[in-house]
């Protein structure tokens, strides 16, 4: 827990309670942390890796809500645990993860008793709201091929290991449509396609 920026700002009693109650966890790549509709029993504070949170429609298609990574906390996880409410999305480990699980009872206690911890939680919600607003703006104003190209370029690597189905889940489209757009990108020398790998040219 010491790796989180907010930790040093907490009351000494809050720090000790977190250290005493948190449980170190290692989660493999591809694992599902929770599913849409689940009521989360605890809260994960991530120290390594990246998680994708998606929302699934009744027709089976999904759309990316947001990512969270080390030093961040998942708002869906927090809301579900804190309010004993069904999770509004599904969280999937994009990479191997490490972090600390904290019982929701302690989180509820700290949220009321420690103003610095409360500030950290509200900051997380404010950051997430900004990213969600950007997502809505992209969906509303950008074409699907532009959104796909932006997503590819945002990965900060020339080789992206992912299936077309997973990309469809992220940008809110079908595998068939994603494959068609990627083939047009390949024809225009923007990418080179392999099985479960895309190379940016």
If one compares 127 and 60, the residue with the highest pLDDT of the two is 127
Work out the angle between the directed axes of helices 175-187 and 164-171 (0-180°, nearest 10).
Answer: 110
Top-level CATH class of 7-140? Answer: mainly beta
Fold match between domain 7-140 and domain 142-200: no
Residues 90-115 have pLDDT tens digits of 999 989 999 999 999 999 999 999 99
**Left if phi > 0, otherwise alpha if psi is -120 to 50, otherwise beta: which for 71?**
left
Contacts for 198 with CB less than 8 Å, ≥ 6 apart? 152, 159, 160, 162, 182, 191, 192
Phi, psi of 185 (to 5 degrees): -65, -40
User: Is the CATH number 1.10.10.10 carried by domain 142-200?
Assistant: yes
Ordered DSSP codes for 100-130 = EEEEHHHHHHHHHH-HHHHHHHHHHHHHHHH
Work out the angle between the directed axes of helices 144-153 and 164-171 (0-180°, nearest 10).
Answer: 110
- Per-domain residue ranges for the chain? 7-140, 142-200
Rounded to two decimals, what is the model's pTM? 0.72
What is the spatial distance between Cα 107 and Cα 104, in angstroms, rounded to a whole number?
A: 5
What is the spatial distance between Cα 175 and Cα 167, in angstroms, rounded to a whole number?
A: 8
What is the spatial distance between Cα 84 and Cα 94, in angstroms, rounded to a whole number?
A: 26
Residues 134-190 have pLDDT tens digits of 777 777 777 888 888 888 988 888 898 888 988 887 777 788 888 999 999 998 899
């Amino acid at each position: 827990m010491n790796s989180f920026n907010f930790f040093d700002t907490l009351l000494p009693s809050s720090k000790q309670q977190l250290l005493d109650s948190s449980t170190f966890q290692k989660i493999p790549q591809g694992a599902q942390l929770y599913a849409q509709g689940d009521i989360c029993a605890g809260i994960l504070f991530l120290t390594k890796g990246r998680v994708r949170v998606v929302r699934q429609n009744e027709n089976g298609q999904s759309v990316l809500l947001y990512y969270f990574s080390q030093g961040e906390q998942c708002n869906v996880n927090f809301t579900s645990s804190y309010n004993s409410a069904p999770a509004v999305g599904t969280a999937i480990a994009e990479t191997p993860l490490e972090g600390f699980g904290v019982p929701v009872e302690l989180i509820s206690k700290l949220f009321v008793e420690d103003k610095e911890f409360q500030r950290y939680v509200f900051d997380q919600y404010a950051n997430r709201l900004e990213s969600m607003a950007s997502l809505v703006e992209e969906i509303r104003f950008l074409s699907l091929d532009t959104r796909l190209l932006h997503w590819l370029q945002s990965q900060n690597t020339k080789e992206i290991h992912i299936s077309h189905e997973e990309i469809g889940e992220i940008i809110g489209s079908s595998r068939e449509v994603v494959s068609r757009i990627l083939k047009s990108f390949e024809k225009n020398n923007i990418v080179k396609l392999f099985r479960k790998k895309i190379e940016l040219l």
